[in-house]
Amino acid sequence: MENITAKLSYLQGLMDGLDLDKDSKEAKIFGAIAEVLEEMNDAIDDLYDYQDEMNERIELIDEDLEAVEDVLIDEDCDCDCDCDDCDCEDFEYEIDCPNCGETLVFNEDFLDEEELLCPNCGEALDFGCDCEDCDCE
């Protein structure tokens, strides 16, 4: 930006060096061109200032968003995998034992077992369907 300002000053010096009559057509045209160029330079200067201000705001928003992401990722992940970008799907299932009524919590690994026993009363847990209209067993 300083380069454009310096070139405008140089151009103004050249026009002054022409020693034109201020009332001549050429002097009026050169003067008008110089004014337009100075206004353009000022407008570009304002745009650079605005761009710098927007960059600062964007950086602040980015920092805030990063903090929010950290909180959300920490709250969503209970898998203790210590990864930064957790996509783990560690599900837990809660059921009530039909025999003793104790609430039991199992992760998905226990669903692979053929028979689950209640750790409280030792009875087998049955997850079969009681409906009469389906073939889910």
Average pLDDT, the chain: 81
0.75 exceeded by pTM? no
pLDDT at 111: 63
Q: Tell me what the mean pLDDT of segment 94-99 comes to.
A: 82
Q: At what angle do helices 2-17 and 25-76 cross, to 10 degrees?
A: 180
The reported pLDDT for the residue numbered 123 is 84
Is the pLDDT assigned to residue 49 strictly greater than 90? Answer: yes
* Confidence class for position 61, pLDDT limits 50, 70, 90: very high
115, 126 contact by CB (below 8 A): no
The DSSP secondary-structure symbol of 100 reads T
Q: Which residues neighbour 44 within 8 Å (Cβ) at sequence distance 6 or greater?
A: 1, 4
pLDDT at 77 over 80: no
- pLDDT score at 48: 95
User: Quick check: 45 pLDDT over 90?
Assistant: yes
How many angstroms separate the CA atoms of 93 and 112, rounded? 13
- Residue 116's pLDDT is what? 76
Checking if the pLDDT of 25 tops 90, the result is yes
What's the CA gap between 11 and 37, in Å, rounded?
Answer: 10
